[in-house]
Structure 1
Amino acid sequence: MNITRPSIVSLTLLNLSMGMSNTSFAHEAADPLISMVSINQLEQRLNTDTESNNLNINSWDADIWLGKDLNKLWLKTEGEFVDGSREESEVQVLYSRAIAPYWDLQTGWRGDFNEDQNQHWFAVGLQGLAPYFFEIDSALFFGQGGQTALRIDAEYELMFTQKLILSPEVETTVYGRNAENYSQGSGLANIDAGLRLRYEIRREFAPYIGINWSKKYGNTADISRASGGDIEVMQWVAGVRAWF
């Protein structure tokens, strides 16, 4: 019985088609669609000033992102409730593009919401890991009425053990002009600094305790003082940090 052997051309085409198919499959597998929900802070705060200790203050800071290795969609939100009423809240919807190892360029929309005034911004920022493992989130905002703002947030992690971690964090905001209706003054506006000690029951879940300090400066402090607001606040905090 004669057995017909496949020609060299047929074998070559078959190998090429299989190789292209494997390459395409490998490319898709190497860059899958991934997502993460990160609750950076979900905490209750207690003012160290005894006159304000009766306030029930709850704060949150969370991120959600969806995308692939180079391109992602980010949702960032943070805010605070005081005695059940929303004191302030912020939402950002951003397109994020990796431009270097550990660094993303982000651009999109930011909205500030509270019971009295809402404000909308165009945002462009840089987020990533600086030398010595400082986590940096910086952004320039262009708002209504020609207002501009620069905000820089830096965080570091000190690992006492594999589970016990101390996280110092500092955030500063600078405004380009006065906007009294939004309680914003030109120049350095405020500095927030926190120190949180967490214990990772699992890497995805960690309760923590700590302290948070906030102070307003310059024209922003003058505007707040004129309306009867606090200029400097020190708070004890207790909360959880989680991601999934």
Structure 2
Amino acid sequence: MSRAPLTALTTALLLALSAPAWAQSHAGHAATPTTTKAPPVDHSRMDHSKMGHDSSDHGAMDHSKMDHRSTDHSQMDHAAMGHGAPKPPAPSEPLEPIPAVTAADRAAAFPPIDHGAMEHAPQVHSMLLVNRLEQWDGRHGNGQAWEASGWVGGNIHRLWLRSEGERSGGSTESADLEALYGRSVSPWWDVLVGVKQDFRPADSRTWAALGIQGLAPYKFETSATAYVGEGGQVAASVEVEYELLLTNRLILQPLLEASFSARDEPEYGNGAGLNKVEAGLRLRYEFSRRFAPYIGISHERLFGDTADYHLAAGERARDTRWVAGMRIWF
């Protein structure tokens, strides 16, 4: 036999023997591996303290593939897991019940009052307030002015004295004095009745007075008085003041005062209707409640026939004044 046919026969035999092994190897690589189901895990018998949870990467764990159906939650110790034991219900009754109030307790707390032993003699008090004592300087001259009031009596019944006036050029242009009986009709208001006497350089008049004074809402000090004079003349005056506390001692006091007459009196320089309006603003500093100097400004204006009468006499119908003075009470 020749050498060439022998070599070909040997090569064919080797290929035939190695084909099954090569096919089995490639078939094994191509085949998809099958997944076997793990047996259920009993978490109640696991020692979690030895599992090293501090170093475990829980974020990388696939919890969706964990079989929680086989976990026995009835054997888990929830108290040891930090949930705590359930709190007992709150008691419906106090631990020490409050005893009921008896008639003897009420009698001991509110003994009968002996009104006879509480009677005291009526106390008499008094006060004098000089609300304005000032020097003024206006466009057409300078002078002095004052306004004062005082009372003596008790909390209900009082005798009131009021006075105001003005001087200019060394002579008294106007001055009056009122003596009034006042009775308190509420904690904030008094009703006044009495007489008023006008003092003038040439003549004087007496008036019957009826009015009211007190503290209006929002702490406006208000005084309104009607007068009936000789010859049937009727007049009235209204004054409103307010105290605005900038500090405990620095106080700004606006003032508005108006006077009226029922009929013309050329001899007195008064016309019917609104006669005069005065508006002022004073800033005072209370060194004490009894003594307070102030500065301010005041504007006066005459209206109607009253202004005409004064213009005819060579006087002005309006004037603005700078004032400086003091407020005192005793």
TM over 0.5: yes
Return the alpha-carbon distance in structure 2 between the equivalents of residues 114 and 43 of structure 1: 20
Distance 1:175 1:104 in 2: 24
> What's the counterpart of residue 172 of structure 2?
86
The yes-or-no answer on 1:43 pairing with 2:140 is no
Question: Counterpart of 1:149?
Answer: 235
Q: Deviations over 1:107-162 (max 9, x none)?
A: 10011111022121100001000000000010011011111012110000110000
Higher strand share: 1
Which stretch has the larger CA shift, 217-226 or 232-241? 217-226
- CA drift at 1:84: 2.5
What is the CA–CA distance in structure 1 between the aligned matches of 2:310 and 2:249, rounded to whole Å? 40
Among 114, 119, 129, the residue aligned to 2:200:
114
The CA deviation at 1:224 is: 1.2
Distance 2:115 2:281 in 1: 53
1:20/1:104 CA distance change after superposition, 3 Å = closer
State the alpha-carbon separation in 2 of the partners of residues 100 and 173 from structure 1: 26
Deviations 1:187-238 (A, max 9, x none): 1111011100000000111000000110000011111111112210100000
TM-score (structure 1 length as normaliser): 0.86
Q: Is the 8 A contact 1:214 1:234 kept in 2?
A: yes
Query: Which of the numbers 299, 310, 328 marks the counterpart of 1:224?
Result: 310
Pair 1:20–1:174, CA change in 2 (3 A): closer
TM-score (norm 2): 0.64
Measured in 1, the distance between the counterparts of 2:238 and 2:210 equals 12
For residue 119 of structure 2, give the secondary structure of its aligned residue in structure 1: helix
Superposed CA deviations along residues 14-71 of structure 1, whole A, max 9, x for unmatched, are: xxxxx5652223xx3xx41000010000000000x2xx34x3x011101111010000
Give secondary structure in 1 for the equivalent of 2:288.
coil
Higher relative contact order (CA 8 A, sep 6+): 1
Q: Flag the 1:101–1:21 CA change in 2: closer, same or farther, 3 A.
A: closer
Tell me which residue corresponds to 2:22. Answer: none
Distance in 2, matches of 1:124 and 1:235, equals 31
Name the CA distance, whole Å, in 1 between partners of 2:293 and 2:134.
Answer: 9
SS in 1 for 2:218: helix
1:222 alignment partner, SS class: helix
Question: What is the aligned partner in structure 1 of residue 270 from structure 2?
Answer: 184
CA distance in 2, matches of 1:186, 1:141: 14
Say if 2:185 is the partner of 1:99.
Answer: yes
Task: Give distance in 2, aligned partners of 1:82 and 1:116.
Answer: 15
Aligned to 1:10: none
Which deviates further from its counterpart, 79-88 or 230-239?
79-88
Q: CA RMSD in A?
A: 1.4
* Structure 1 alignment gaps of length 5 or more: 1-18
Is 1:129 aligned to 2:220, yes or no?
no
How far, CA to CA, are the matches of 2:329 and 2:198 in structure 1? 24
Task: Give 2:171's aligned amino acid.
Answer: S
Secondary structure (helix, strand or coil) at the match of 1:229 reads coil
Instruction: Tell me the distance in 2 between the aligned counterparts of 1:220 and 1:117.
Output: 19
- Relative to its length, the structure with more helix (as a share) is 2
The residue correspondences of 1:203-242 to structure 2 (distance < 5 A) are: 203-242=289-328
Question: What SS does structure 1 have at the residue aligned with 2:123?
Answer: coil
* 1:23 equivalent in structure 2: 118
- Structure-2 separation of matches of 1:214 and 1:119: 24
The number of equivalent residue pairs is 218
Query: What residue in structure 2 maps to residue 8 of structure 1?
Result: none
Instruction: Say which one has the larger Rg.
Output: 2
Q: Percent identity?
A: 41
5 Å-filtered alignment, 1:153-172, equals 153-172=239-258
- One-letter amino acid matched to 1:225: L
Q: Cα gap change, 1:20/1:137 in structure 2, threshold over 3 Å: closer, same or farther? A: closer
C-alpha separation in 1, matches of 2:265 and 2:169: 27
